[in-house]
Amino acid sequence: MAKNDNTSLMTISGWKGLFTIDHNPRKGLLLFEKVVLGYTILTTLLIFFLYTKLSNPVEMLIARVRFMAIMLALWGVYRMVPCRLLLGLRGFVQLAMLGIWYPETYEFNKLFPNLDYLFAGWEQELFGCQPALLFSKALPSHIISELFDMGYGSYYFMIGFTALFYFAVRYREFTRAVFVILASFFVYYIIYIFLPVVGPTYYYHAVGINNIAQGVFPNIHDYFLNHNNCLPSPGYTDGFFYQFVESAKSAGERPTAAFPSSHVGISTICMLLAWHSKSRRLFYIYLPFYIFLCCATVYIQAHYLIDAIAGLVTGVMFYFITMWMSRNVRI
């Protein structure tokens, strides 16, 4: 292992270490790349199995060839110039590509009968109401709306900055941290593929607010096979963070991925990684954003309350499982 592997980028020597050649580099795929490879193989098999039912199977297969080409190209460049900068690039590229993998879950799960009528019904039985319908009405303040939307939008920042923090300050565990995040994401994606729950913003729009208010939750079967319209988020529509969240929804949101909430799950994992890093400052900086994010999932009608609770439980569970799986991983 190179001496600079655990050097913080907070020092001049750390910055120099970005380009220092590692004389004992990792020769094969990194653990998080193996996870990407496994998910690629699994979903490729699923594409072939559902080939005649999918809307664009050829494009999905071509995308996988491109993903693998990018991963192998980065591996090849690193093998030629095995330095810290290129190893970090291998991790950050895979994290960035999560935004491409996510919408694909809709291409699969829209083929299965929608289950929101069950989840909305369970929500009603557990809480005696629809929290996603009432939360924003109970807290109509513009300030509250903006704080929650800010928290919801901070999700992407938390993921990226957690990885960046480990790369810069806890480099020996960078690969481990990226593995924990990526592996957890892909487990969520597998759940979303086979559990077609779209969340209140889509389901309420499909069946009508009047039905929801009266406690009527129709089974809409394969409605989302051909529809992907949703309700506008409640809140302060002129707010900066409201507009940011709505823009993000328009750019990449699909009727998919409601249960469990990966927003709550992955942000919980980021909180636990921040604590594990021994940077209490990072943990407490994250904390208010995390609280606002968890509240926002229900407030903006992206999730049922049971989705958020399940996200918290699975986030903790996935964190400890993946940390145990990667206990011997060091750069």
Instruction: Specify the pLDDT at position 258.
Output: 97
Top pLDDT among 21 and 129 is at: 129
Q: What is the mean pLDDT of residues 232-245?
A: 95
pLDDT band for position 13 (cuts 50, 70, 90): low
Q: Which two tokens stand for residue 181?
A: 């995040």
* Residue whose C-alpha is closest to residue 274's, from 146, 129, 132, 154: 154
Q: What is the mean pLDDT of residues 228-246?
A: 94
pLDDT at 80 over 70: yes
Instruction: Specify the pLDDT at position 11.
Output: 63
Lowest average pLDDT, out of 5-14, 110-119, 143-152, goes to 5-14
Instruction: Specify the pLDDT at position 63.
Output: 97
Three-class secondary structure assignment of the chain: CCHHHHCCCCCHHHHHHCCCECCCCCCCCCHHHHHHHHHHHHHHHHHHHCCCCCCCHHHHHHHHHHHHHHHHHHHHHHHHCCEHHHHHHHHHHHHHCHHHHHHHHHHHHCCCCCCHHHHHHHHHHHHCCCHHHHHHHHCCCHHHHHHHHHHHHHHHHHHHHHHHHHHHHCHHHHHHHHHHHHHHHHHHHHHHHHCCCCCHHHHHHHHCHHHHHCCCCCCCCCHHHCCCCCCCCCCCCCCHHHHHHHHHHHHHCCCCCCCCCHHHHHHHHHHHHHHHCCCHHHHHHHHHHHHHHHHHHHHCCCCCHHHHHHHHHHHHHHHHHHHHHCCCCCC
Q: What is the mean pLDDT of residues 71-86?
A: 95
- pLDDT tens, position by position, 56-70: 999 999 999 999 999
Instruction: Specify the pLDDT at position 24.
Output: 81
Q: Is the dihedral of CA 156, 157, 159, 164 positive or negative?
A: positive
Q: Across the chain, what does the average pLDDT equal?
A: 94
pLDDT at 23 over 80: no
Instruction: Specify the pLDDT at position 19.
Output: 77
